[in-house]
Structure 1
Amino acid sequence: MFSIPLVILVPSAYGRMLLRLANTVKERSDIHLQIFAAGNDWPLEKVKEMTEAGIYKGFKPFEQLKSDFQQADAFLTVMSFEKAEEPFMKTSFTTKWLDYVPYGKPVFVWAPDYSTAYQFAHQHRAGIAVSEDDPVALVKAMIDAASNLETWQAACGGARKAAETVLNAEKIHTLFVDRVNHVCRQSQDTPNIDDLKELAR
């Protein structure tokens, strides 16, 4: 059995997705889904049901989540399939990847194929992506991966490589600082607006 701690702030679209997934795995003995969230849009009876089932864990500060990360076998990141959310899914990036990949464990991606998450997973081989809006398809991908040592090890390797390269926190920080400094230097080199007006006369 493997457990998947899902650490995410849950907006309404994601909340509905995760509830569908929770309902799908609730009676399974081969997947232990754990959802950590600051809030949800579930009916109160579902919150109670999933809490009692050990699936919904509520909010936990990030520092406390690190022990859960260490004990988990895999991680899950999601992006909405709702049509109204499509522009956002094409331009936003799920930053949970930055938290997950340092642990060198498979990252499952449940997202439409046009989303940045899905495309990133394929481009960098940094996740096992499922683009069907169906929790059963996601569960099948999890079970198939867990049953195939080569697939599992490749996913672990992809996470480790991403942590060392494209999602390396220190490199991202350095790049950010360099870009900010570059913008600041450019602004200092820009001629004074009054000088530009004088030249335009």
Structure 2
Amino acid sequence: MNALRILLISSALPRDTTAGEVVLYRHFSQFPELSLAIATDDSQELLVENLLEIKANPLLNRLTKTRFYRWTHDICQCLHPFFNYKILRNYIKTHKPNLIVTVAEGIHWIAAQKMSQEFNIPLVAIFHDWWPDLAAIHPWAKETLEHRFKQLYQQSKLAFCVSEGMQQLLGNHPNVQILYPIPDQLTSGLKNNNLTNKKKFKLVYAGSISGIYAPMMQGLCAALQGFPELQLKLFGRQPTWSDVLLQQLHEQDIYGGFLPRDLLRQELSNASALLVTISFEAENRRWAQTSFPSKLVEYCQHNKPIIIWGPDYCSAVRWGRKHQSALVVTSPSPQDLVKAIQELANQPEEQIRLKNKALEMGQGMFNPEKIQQQFVSSLYQVATLELPYPMYNGFHHL
């Protein structure tokens, strides 16, 4: 059987790192009968045979490193990055890919859209974040970019949205699917049904502690003072906090650093509960509505109670309420969160219920094999090719 030929033209790339990169890596590294070519301007750590380097206009590239960077991004996002398309055209004419795949962020989705139209190749677009709100452009340019963003959605033969909120905001589409972030295969199906016997209730958070999350985490650290029965443990890249606050984190053994995946799994498995946070800031409202935390999907593989702290309109809170699968706290007050944690720590029956719901979600909705099967079978269907069987034999490894 001939391999499915995919040309990935994307600024987001399949790497075994974090966030969207590791999601792509897991999808393509477990893809049967795949011939993958990647077109991008950043080929570092991409172990595929067919790498096509395409960059924006050299002058525009230089200007992005100057004080005119925002104006330059306006041009790239709202007009065109002015790629040299010769490499792409030659590859497509020679190898005739079945599909062009892109992630709706950065600038390379513009090239993917153009090549799909020019050669009449089905386009598959993945929508992980609401890119118009993240792009480094002037506020007046966002309306134009948003129009192009929605145009990409409509012109895609298949659109993968990371959440129901993303799909609702993008609108109707003849072939749209919700594709949740795929978790790590190695952690799937952990069955630790015993409650922790430690004297302290250990709440673990793994992810970014800087940027929009910094005020929430700082407030939580302060609110937990005076509650020795509750222990907070933060894992992630070192936060951009003041030296005084960082020193306090270390002295109180709150910050555990950025751990390799195997060590982080151990910490998650030793937790009493796992924390997901979503910003309450009004300026981040659309991001909160449309994104779906990949850590939530990973957490469900560890069979632990999950606590979601975020506004009632965010996708994570809506998921938690819809499936009754998490303790949801929608007050921005850290003191209210601490109160909810205290109550859960004294409710062993509720802890067991939430653990079982996490396991149910991890084996059902967030089962990595189920998500991968959805991804693979959908691509074969769009390419009008027969799906290889059995599906998980003969993985193609990046």
Equivalent of 2:377 in 173, 178, 182? 178
Equivalent of 2:353 in 154, 163, 175? 154
**Paired residue type of 1:19:** Q
**Does the alignment pair 1:46 with 2:245?**
yes
Determine the structure 2 residue equivalent to 1:15.
214
What is the CA RMSD across the aligned residues, in angstroms?
1.4
Percent of aligned pairs with the same amino acid? 26
Secondary structure of the corresponding residue to residue 214 of structure 2 = helix
Q: Cα offset for 1:11?
A: 4.1
Q: Cα offset for 1:64?
A: 1.4
Determine the structure 1 residue equivalent to 2:295.
96
Deviations 1:89-134 (A, max 9, x none): 0000001022211221100000100000100101112210000001
* Distance in 2 of aligned mates of 1:29 and 1:105: 21
CA contact (8 A) 1:34 1:56 kept: yes
* Distance in 2 of aligned mates of 1:84 and 1:60: 31
**Does the alignment pair 1:140 with 2:335?**
no
Unaligned runs of 5+ in 2: 1-199, 386-398
**Does the alignment pair 1:111 with 2:298?**
no
Secondary structure of the corresponding residue to residue 32 of structure 1 = strand
Secondary structure of the corresponding residue to residue 259 of structure 2 = coil
Secondary structure of the corresponding residue to residue 311 of structure 2 = coil
Higher helix share: 1
**Paired residue type of 1:86:** R
* Distance in 1 of aligned mates of 2:236 and 2:226: 21
* Distance in 2 of aligned mates of 1:69 and 1:91: 26
Aligned length: 186
Q: Cα offset for 1:184?
A: 2.6
Determine the structure 2 residue equivalent to 1:191.
none
**Does the alignment pair 1:59 with 2:59?**
no
Unaligned runs of 5+ in 1: 187-201
Larger gyration radius, structure 1 or structure 2: 2
Deviations 1:47-70 (A, max 9, x none): 111111011122112221111112
Determine the structure 2 residue equivalent to 1:198.
none
CA contact (8 A) 1:118 1:129 kept: yes
TM-score (norm 2): 0.45
**Paired residue type of 1:33:** L
* Distance in 1 of aligned mates of 2:278 and 2:240: 16
* Distance in 2 of aligned mates of 1:79 and 1:39: 19
* Distance in 2 of aligned mates of 1:35 and 1:171: 30
Q: Cα offset for 1:155?
A: 0.9
TM-score (norm 1): 0.88
**Paired residue type of 2:228:** S
Determine the structure 2 residue equivalent to 1:189.
none
